[in-house]
Chains A and B, each alone.
Chain A
Amino acid sequence: MTRDGIALEADLLGKTYGGRSRGWALRGCGFALPAGRVCALVGPNGAGKSTLLALAAGLLRPTEGTIQAPPREHLAYVAQDKPLHPRLSVADTLRMGRELNPGRWDETAAQRVMADELDPHTLVRDLSGGQRTRVALALALGKRAELLLLDEPMADLDPLARHQLMGLLMADAAEHGTTVVLSSHILTELEGACDHLLLLHGGKIRLDGAVDDLLAAHTLLRGPVADLAPHTVVESRTTGRQLTALIRHEGPIEGPWDTQEPSLEDLLLAHLRTTPEGVPA
């Protein structure tokens, strides 16, 4: 069980596949995701995003530490490869969703995702990647879960379907207060839709918080080369006499600098360009 107001919480969470000597997919992860947030789980390939989602869904057991999520009947998880039964038709797949979730199933929500795009008699094995995504999302939204865990949900979709399905996810969050975690290595897919961010890099959490708070805590500055203390420098570059830096500011910024609030992309790229140890690569 999770604490009140928290949809997903991890403490010193670690996972290794096949022995501690083989390296850690995740280690020392701690965060608490408030209920009702739409969280972007971002990071480069191999950062540990899928591992974290599978742990949250209860499909993997932590090697160390804990992760607390709602019980299985209250969460929906859509894995990256959208596992569905290949020999079932689309209609039978949805009927299975209805029968496995008695009393909770929301046919309207499921049908809204289907949007008459697919012939119900088509077998799952004959669907394209994007069509499978649509069926998997229909199952997830039909389940009326409190927490949706979606691993790279938009990867197979064309821009039109992506916009439509993202719109439906947001509408579901608006109407029911559903907590959503969406992973992606493409930030632009998620910018605007997410109000919370978890940045994973090298199996560790590098950034965690409400997007607005994270942006407000950082400043992009440009100006003459100088010591930036007491601010924390995330990344800095010097070209001739000009310094460009992204800092996490401690108190007001005083100096002859041009300052600007970074975009989410500025912030992520700066954090990703530094190695997990926090040393510029």
Chain B
Amino acid sequence: MLGPIEIEVIRNALNAAAAEMDVTVWRTSRSTIVRELLDYSTAVFDAEGWNLAQSARIPGHLNSMSHALREILANFVPSGQWHEGDVVVTNDPYCGGQHLPDIIAYKPVFHEGRRIAFVGTLCHHIDVGGLAAGSYAAKATEIFQEGLRIPPLKILDRGIRNEGVWAMIRQNIRKPDLLLGDLSSQLASLDVGAAALLRLARRFGAEAMIEAGARILDMSEAGMRAAIARMPDGTYEFTDFLDDDGIDLGQPIRLHVAVTIQGDLASVDLSGCSPQVAGPTNATLASTNAAVMFALMCCADSSLHMSAGCYRPITVIAPEGLVVNARHPAPVAHRVAVTHRLLGTMNGALHQAVPELIPAAYYGNSYVTTFQTVAETREVLVEIEIGGSGAHPSKDGVNAYASGMHNNSNIPIEMIEAQLPLTILRYGLREGSGGEGKFRGGLGLAREWRIDSPRCFFTANMDRFDHAPYGLAGGGPAAVGKLVLRRDGVESPIPPKTDNLPLRKGDVVRLETSGGGGFGPAAERPTAAKAHDEEMRYL
């Protein structure tokens, strides 16, 4: 029986392993989406696939990876078929994944003849084929259009590369050197993580590792229960909308939650959400669960160790066939929009339970833009922009702050211009985009791209163009987004869900993103704060 101190020693080492894996991906990856946008995550799991430790990357990934691994163990690669040196990958949302650009790789770790853990790395790859470069098509109507699907399979089999799979991937994607380079980074990070766990196992033994894992999960569960117990019992409901699915234009998609707090348990009923939609604004359970868990985990003490133990006191009710639990072969590329909105909806409900904790809505959206430039070569740029964070009950929102389900960096303008025939004409805060209130919402952004290649295909997949980020407690909503084409001096709107819009040299695309909602009545805003807003021209 390990004491509380040994548990702490092991927990620390597991965190360090996830951090070492993180550094490995960061430093070795190739594509701008992984290396500059930082769209990847690393984590450590127990022998049954429960998440034990996470890197500080993307909450939407981190809290889906346990789900995917458990799904693989249950239905695709049974427990007994994992061997030393294996690496199993998948990107299939219908096998536990989220959407096709995210390739997840898992490696088992063995010690004293038994499996003691898994390590896992998820990268958002720049392109996995399909009908639009970047594999973020806005108009797909079935998953077969969204790119190459990799069912759970061994890309390394007892240490031997499954060359057929590598060749198959290479043949079906637009930027094979970038994807396979990033995939190599994933495999390198798994090696690093496995080595770190073995170091630990040699010291404590397999039995202690397994016991420590169980105890870490129990402790996270206790911390999560304590956080839920602080919320008053009751059922809290909230509704918000996605604009549409890109196919049935103007038809809002309803997200509704009913959060029931009873003692130290939470039950989240999503039965009131819209049926799944024709376009790719659908989510599978891996995505949906991640959003619900994340919302509640944010309400816990800042010292809470984030692990799968946090999920235990939370029940999610999400009937199949809804937008939050789509049935095969629904397209799901834009699942992130569902998770952003679901998180916002959860927060709207939780505001009623713990009003002192919950901020107003953030921009609630990953502004995904893909440029495929066509000159002598074809290059792909995927950018994911952000907006402003929601005002908090005690302070203003933050201008241009990666919030909620994702956590992306921007790509340096100079890096883009050094590598692609694109010129950024403007990158700035968007005045007046934050919601009014006693506390103002953070500002969104404006970014302009000019096409310098003879031809370019532009794909956009974004939301919050009709339904604004909400304010709370009397605070105002933020501005909605705007996407505009400027050609020969004439501006025209680009639909926010657009595939392969043909652009030519000299065309300019301008994106304006939402800010965050305001908190409290604007009439209560202090004079000094208003004067500061004026001086900084934030309004």
A interacts with B: no
